[in-house]
Amino acid sequence: SAVISQKPSRDICQRGTSLTIQCQVDSQVTMMFWYRQQPGQSLTLIATANQGSEATYESGFVIDKFPISRPNLTFSTLTVSNLSPEDSSIYLCSARAGAGRERNEQFFGPGTRLTVL
């Protein structure tokens, strides 16, 4: 299984600023995803990070608010822009190998807890 790390693990930010979250996978993966999870709630998919092209956003999420980069097959960043208290949440990076026995299994990073004051 892929091992995924995220930085930072948590942060407290001021309203109006931005936070960039980094996601690193220990092996090359075909697909990477970003999720948001409110405490005690389920996961909501923000977007699929596509290598070498623009991310694919889910309904309700836009590129201006959540710009995503994916420069190679092991790394992605999510920026949460123009922060408001409503953005306080846990953000999780996820990856799917896309090949081999585990090709349909999806693995998750430890999450980044964001608090906006």
Partner 1 sequence: AQTVTQSQPEMSVQEAETVTLSCTYDTSENNYYLFWYKQPPSRQMILVIRQEAYKQQNATENRFSVNFQKAAKSFSLKISDSQLGDTAMYFCAFYTGTASKLTFGTGTRLQVTL
Handedness of CA 8, 37, 31, 62 (dihedral sign): negative
Distance of CA 107 to the CA centre of its chain: 12
| Binding track over 33-72 against partner 1, x by CB under 8 A | x---x--xxxx-x--x------------------------
Rounded-to-integer distance, Cα 106 and Cα 2, Å: 9
Q: Measured from the CB of residue 71, what is the shortest distance to partner 1 in angstroms?
A: 21
Contacting partner 1 within 1-30 (CB under 8 A): 1
Q: Is 104 in the site for partner 1 (CB under 8 A)?
A: yes
- As a 3-state breakdown, the chain gives helix, strand, coil percent values, each rounded to 5, of 5, 50, 50
Q: What three-state secondary structure class fits 85?
A: helix
Q: Measured from the CB of residue 47, what is the shortest distance to partner 1 in angstroms?
A: 10
Residues that bind partner 1 (CB under 8 A): 1, 31, 33, 37, 40-43, 45, 48, 90, 92, 94, 104-108, 110-111, 113
